[in-house]
Structure formats: C-alpha cells, structure tokens
Chain A
Amino acid sequence: MIDLIKIELYKIFKKWRTYIGFIALGILIPLIHFAMVLEGERTINFMTRNIQESFVFVGKLLNTYLISYIILTSLAVHIPFLITLVAGDLLAGEATAGTYRMLLTRPISRTKLIIVKFIAGVIYSNIIVFWLAFLSLVLGYFIFGVGELLIIDGQMIVIFEKNDVLWRFLLAYGFAALGMTTVASLAFLFSSLVENAIGPIISTMAIIIVFVILSAIQVEFFQNIKHYFFTTHIMSWRLFFDEPIDIKEILNSAGILILHIFIFFSLTLIIFNKKDILT
C-alpha cells in the first residue's frame, strides 16, 4: 500500500499543474506581506480607531500573527481552488490520458486504487496547507516578528498575549487541513464520475461558492440551513481564537467535516467499483 501511495504521489508531483498551488501562494503571500509593510499600520489604526478614541495603547500589533490571521481569513475560497486542481484530476486524469486500461488490468483491486489515490490527494492537500502556514508564519516572522494578536470577534475586540497565540495557529492550520481534505474528497468524488478534470474542478468550486453566497444572505431560512453546509464548518478554525475555546463546537464542526469526507469517499468507492471503464 505504501509503495502504491508513493507511486501516486510521484505521479502527482511530476505534473506541472501540481505546482500552480505552491507558486500561487509563493507569490500571493509575499505580496500580502509587502502590502502590509506599506499599509499595515494604517490597517491597524483603522481596526482600532474606536478604541483609540478612549484608550492609549502600546504594543506590536503589526506582527506575523495578525497577518497570518488575515491571510487565513482571506483565502477561504482560493485554497479550495488550488486543492481541486489536483484532487479533481486524480481519477478524471487517468480517464483523459487513457491510462485506466493499463492500470485496471493490473492485479490491483479498484478499492485499493481508490484508497491509495485518495490518500495521495489528502497528503497533497495537507502539504498545501503546510506551505500556507510556513509562508504566513515563518516568512512573516522574519519580516514582522511576533507580538500580540488583535482580532475582532463579533462584538468583541480580543487581544491574545504573544505566548498565547502560536498553539492556536497550529491547531487552526490543522483544522484548515481537515477542511481542505473535505474539499479534496468532494473533488475526488466528481473526478470518479467524468473523464475530464475540468468538470470536477468547476463543480466543486461552484458548490463552494454557492454555499458561501447562500450563507451570507441574511434571510432566516438560509441562516438556519447554513449549519449543514460543509463550507460553514471549514471556517471553524476561527473557533481556536475564541476565549475561552468552545471545545464542543470545534468537535461538532470537525465531526461534520469528517462525516462529509466519509460520505464523499464512500460514494466514490461505490461508483468506481461499479463503473464500466469505456475510455
């Protein structure tokens, strides 16, 4: 099994499209850093302008933590796209290339093949999140250093002490990886249905965008059903920046995401095992 996963990862990383994600983040995040070097202080003054009317404060609020937080918030749709680029191609790509015929006439069960490809897709998704975390926190550290983290949470302004932040980020990135695994599993499911990777990429992104839009509509019906959208729970990494942390809520969101992953994966398994390979 390990050998087969290695083979799948080798195939993934031999394709140029895999590197789009890494390059995109490698350009986007330093750009954000650059913008914050120029405009960061103004951004913070804007965020804190009401407090500043009544309070004097000192402290290094423009630091890698704040910027990493902003990056993580802003990339709710962008990262999923980078995930679908690869996950959507895992099965559909074999159909396009015609390599199913070579692959599935080998003494390997279809179930094993699905498992192996899925794991490879999940590994890729986690690597992308890790890359995001590295660029945000580590690169940001060398430019901005560390300090307190200021966030605005609903009707609260919350400031976390310097030493109280890193562990939250590590857990938040871990949760983000779970979210991206959910996206990958949906793209993977669509990939099993078609013969071209474009379809899964577009379908997955369409679903994400529609869910995000519906969740934002301030109508009671949508506000009630949005708790069933996996996109809502992908953003639950923010729960690690509550004080105190609501463990129950986090576990609830994690559970919902894991359930989605399980359903998407199971459907893929069933569909692929029954499928006639005509390509």
Chain B
Amino acid sequence: MNNSDKIIEISNLTKRFNDLVAVNKLNLNVYKGDVFGFLGPNGAGKSTTIRMLLTLIYPDEGNIKIFGKDLIKERLNILKKVGAIVEKPDFYGYLTAYKNLEILGRISGIEVNKNLIMKNLEIVGLANRFDSKVKTFSHGMKQRLGIAQALLHNPELIILDEPTTGLDPIGMKEIRDLIIHLSKELKKTIFLSSHLLNEVEMVANRMIIINKGTTKVEGEVKELLDKNRIYVRIDVDNAEKTLGILKLTKWSNFIRKYTNNHLEFDLESYEVPMLNKHLVENGVYVYSIIPKRSLEEYFLKITNEASDD
C-alpha cells in the first residue's frame, strides 16, 4: 500500500480532558477500500478519536490527514467527502425523516431532491416512514436513518461509530450486509468503530485494538484472528500431577500457564487430539478441552477490566 492510498493518517494523536488522557499518541492508517475495524472496550478512546476525525473536538497534540490533506486546514473540502454517525444518531424529532434528510442535505451543499432522499431511505428500509416524525421512531429506526444521512452526499469515506448498538440480530445483520455492500460494490472506505470483536471480524479487513487511548494490537484481521493461532485450555482433575506427567515430554514446551485445575497450551489445532491421547493414557482425567483465540481472550480481558473501572 502506498501513501496515495492512505485515506486516514493519524500521527501521535493526543487528547486530554483535565487529568484524564483519553487518547495518547495514537497512530493509525486507513487505506482506500479498507473496512477498518476500530476496536476497544468502553472508555478506550474510540469516540474521542472519531470526534477528532470529524472536528467535533480538537486534539491537544498530533496530526490528522484525510485524503492526504490536513484536517484542520482543509476541513470543509474533506467533510464534503465524509459521511458519519457519531454515537447515537439524533435528529430533529419534531420534523419528519424526509425533512431531516432534506435539511442535512442542504446544509451539506448538495442538490437535494425527492428522488435522492427516497433512494437513501429505501437503502436503509425506511421509505414507508418518510413522512413520520422522527420522535416516533424506535432506536433501530433512528440508527438506520443515521446511516441514510451518512450516505446522502455520496461520501468516499464513511465513519460509523458503533452502528449496530441497540439493534436486534436481524438489524445487526442488515447493517453488516450494508457495510459489505458499500465496501465491495460501491468501493467506499469504511472506518468502523465497535466494542464487539466478532462484528469487526465479520466485515473488516484491517483492525486496531486500543485501550486507555493507546494502540494495543494492529494488523490484518485475517492474520490476527487466524483460527490456527489458538491456545488450548484443558481442565483436569489435578494440574500438579499432570505437570509431572508432561515434564519430560515435548508437551511441556507448549505450556503457557496453569492453575490448580487447568493448563493452557500454545498448540496448532491438529496437535490437540495427540495431547489429549497422551494425557488420558497417563491417567489424567480430562474434563474439557477448550480452544481459545488469544486475541479474543485478550480483548475480553481488557473489556472486563474497563467495566470494572
């Protein structure tokens, strides 16, 4: 990927709110055509970063470039080509869905007509509610209307901040399908923020995990979530005894961790049944064998830590 393909370039981005460092020297790149997963637990700094991307808040340090241009200097030109949902989409509840889109379209400076608005409402499945006041909409409907307003001016870059929040499983699938459609058929670049790893896994090609405002993991989704890169948790009757049995075997090299009643091994998936056979033959009671993806574990861990905070 070369520089001309970089849609978003974030360098050393930092934002403080009094004593709290919400984003701390963040670096990331998003390339043209990416569905970029921006992951982190609640409070990791995702929304803050997205707000900085959209000039809702100003960074204390660092730099953002979009389409190769400095965001602060070329804000208006950049935003013409960016569509976004930031957190919960809020509209003018006392106006209809149609009117909300019309107003937002006119503010964006595009040629707004009935066809355009109805087309976008159809994409998100709200065409039949075009003349209903938005205050009568459910959360899911507002979410969909939020996507409609993000697409209204045919942007090149779409920033979606947790777009499936509050949706039922069918709604979530519809959004995921839409994202894939936007990326594959309409060749949009998508920056998708989420706190759900599996959601990102299903649509994104590249991803980053942040926590406490800094990058923790970054890379291609396929690589990071490769099914072959697993570790195995084996629940046994007596871990000490099991350790003794494995001490002089090759399996001891793969032990990553153990407690009173379980051990964790870094293994390729084809090696699991061989280990199981060895343990059983040596008198170890094996209660369960659970394959885990280390990234998933890691993400779960930091998510739990965040909710404890």
The residues of A with any CB-CB pair to B shorter than 8 Å are: 3-4, 7, 10-11, 14-15, 97-109, 274, 276-278
Q: Are A7 and B107 in contact, CB atoms less than 8 angstroms apart? A: yes
Q: Are B55 and A104 in contact, CB atoms less than 8 angstroms apart? A: yes
B287 part of interface (Cβ distance < 8 Å): no
Q: Are B56 and A103 in contact, CB atoms less than 8 angstroms apart? A: no
Q: Are A105 and B79 in contact, CB atoms less than 8 angstroms apart? A: yes
Q: Are A107 and B79 in contact, CB atoms less than 8 angstroms apart? A: yes
Once bound together, how far apart are the Cα atoms of A98 and B78, in whole Å?
23
Question: Which residues of chain B in 68-120 are interfacial with respect to chain A, using CB atoms and an 8 Å cutoff?
Answer: 75-80, 82, 84, 86-95, 103-104, 106-109
Task: Give chain B residues whose Cβ lies under 8 Å from the Cβ of A102.
Answer: 89-91, 104, 149
Once bound together, how far apart are the Cα atoms of A4 and B109, in whole Å?
10
Kindly provide the distance from the CB of A102 to the nearest chain B CB, expressed in whole angstroms: 6
Chain A's closest residue to B57 (CB) is A276
Q: Are B77 and A277 in contact, CB atoms less than 8 angstroms apart? A: no
Q: Are B106 and A105 in contact, CB atoms less than 8 angstroms apart? A: no
Which one, A107, A276, A277, contacts B76 given CB within 8 A? A107
Which one, A3, A97, A104, A274, contacts B106 given CB within 8 A? A3
Once bound together, how far apart are the Cα atoms of A276 and B89, in whole Å?
18
Top 7 nearest A-B pairs (CB, nearest first) are A98-B90, A276-B57, A107-B79, A277-B56, A101-B86, A107-B80, A105-B54
Main secondary structure of the interface of B (DSSP, over half): loop
Task: Give chain A residues whose Cβ lies under 8 Å from the Cβ of B103.
Answer: 7, 10-11
Chain A's closest residue to B88 (CB) is A98
Chain B's closest residue to A6 (CB) is B106
Task: Give chain A residues whose Cβ lies under 8 Å from the Cβ of B77.
Answer: 107
Task: Give chain A residues whose Cβ lies under 8 Å from the Cβ of B254.
Answer: none
Q: Are B90 and A97 in contact, CB atoms less than 8 angstroms apart? A: yes
Main secondary structure of the interface of A (DSSP, over half): loop
The residues of B with any CB-CB pair to A shorter than 8 Å are: 51, 54-58, 75-80, 82, 84, 86-95, 103-104, 106-109, 149
Task: Give chain B residues whose Cβ lies under 8 Å from the Cβ of A109.
Answer: 75-76
Task: Give chain B residues whose Cβ lies under 8 Å from the Cβ of A106.
Answer: 79, 104, 107-108
Once bound together, how far apart are the Cα atoms of A109 and B79, in whole Å?
10
Task: Give chain B residues whose Cβ lies under 8 Å from the Cβ of A104.
Answer: 54-56
Once bound together, how far apart are the Cα atoms of A277 and B58, in whole Å?
9
Once bound together, how far apart are the Cα atoms of A14 and B88, in whole Å?
23
Q: Are B95 and A14 in contact, CB atoms less than 8 angstroms apart? A: yes
Chain B's closest residue to A14 (CB) is B94
Task: Give chain A residues whose Cβ lies under 8 Å from the Cβ of B91.
Answer: 97, 99, 102
Chain B's closest residue to A108 (CB) is B107
Once bound together, how far apart are the Cα atoms of A97 and B142, in whole Å?
13
Chain B's closest residue to A273 (CB) is B58
Once bound together, how far apart are the Cα atoms of A102 and B79, in whole Å?
12
Q: Are B76 and A105 in contact, CB atoms less than 8 angstroms apart? A: no
Q: Are A97 and B92 in contact, CB atoms less than 8 angstroms apart? A: yes
Task: Give chain B residues whose Cβ lies under 8 Å from the Cβ of A10.
Answer: 103
Once bound together, how far apart are the Cα atoms of A274 and B58, in whole Å?
8
Q: Are B109 and A107 in contact, CB atoms less than 8 angstroms apart? A: yes
With a 10 A CB-CB cut-off, give which of A7, A106, A107, A109 has the most chain B CB atoms. A106
Kindly provide the distance from the CB of B57 to the nearest chain A CB, expressed in whole angstroms: 4
Task: Give chain A residues whose Cβ lies under 8 Å from the Cβ of B56.
Answer: 100-101, 104-105, 276-277
Q: Are A103 and B107 in contact, CB atoms less than 8 angstroms apart? A: yes
Task: Give chain B residues whose Cβ lies under 8 Å from the Cβ of A276.
Answer: 51, 56-58
Chain B's closest residue to A93 (CB) is B92
Kindly provide the distance from the CB of A96 to the nearest chain B CB, expressed in whole angstroms: 10
Kindly provide the distance from the CB of A6 to the nearest chain B CB, expressed in whole angstroms: 9
Task: Give chain B residues whose Cβ lies under 8 Å from the Cβ of A107.
Answer: 75-80, 108-109
Kindly provide the distance from the CB of B175 to the nearest chain A CB, expressed in whole angstroms: 18
Chain B's closest residue to A100 (CB) is B56
Q: Are A97 and B107 in contact, CB atoms less than 8 angstroms apart? A: no
Chain A's closest residue to B152 (CB) is A106
Task: Give chain B residues whose Cβ lies under 8 Å from the Cβ of A7.
Answer: 103, 106-107
Kindly provide the distance from the CB of A139 to the nearest chain B CB, expressed in whole angstroms: 31
**Apart from A104-B54, A106-B108, A278-B57, what are 7 other A-B pairs with CB-CB below 8 Å?**
A11-B103, A97-B91, A102-B90, A104-B56, A105-B56, A107-B109, A274-B58
Kindly provide the distance from the CB of B211 to the nearest chain A CB, expressed in whole angstroms: 21
9 A-B pairs with C-beta separation under 8 A? A3-B106, A7-B103, A11-B95, A97-B90, A99-B92, A105-B86, A107-B79, A109-B76, A276-B51
Chain A's closest residue to B104 (CB) is A102
Chain A's closest residue to B15 (CB) is A276
Chain B's closest residue to A277 (CB) is B56
Q: Are A277 and B109 in contact, CB atoms less than 8 angstroms apart? A: no
Task: Give chain B residues whose Cβ lies under 8 Å from the Cβ of A274.
Answer: 58
Chain B's closest residue to A97 (CB) is B90
Q: Are A277 and B90 in contact, CB atoms less than 8 angstroms apart? A: no
Once bound together, how far apart are the Cα atoms of A106 and B104, in whole Å?
8
Task: Give chain B residues whose Cβ lies under 8 Å from the Cβ of A99.
Answer: 90-92
Task: Give chain B residues whose Cβ lies under 8 Å from the Cβ of A277.
Answer: 51, 56-57
Q: Are A11 and B107 in contact, CB atoms less than 8 angstroms apart? A: no
Kindly provide the distance from the CB of A106 to the nearest chain B CB, expressed in whole angstroms: 5
Once bound together, how far apart are the Cα atoms of A100 and B80, in whole Å?
17
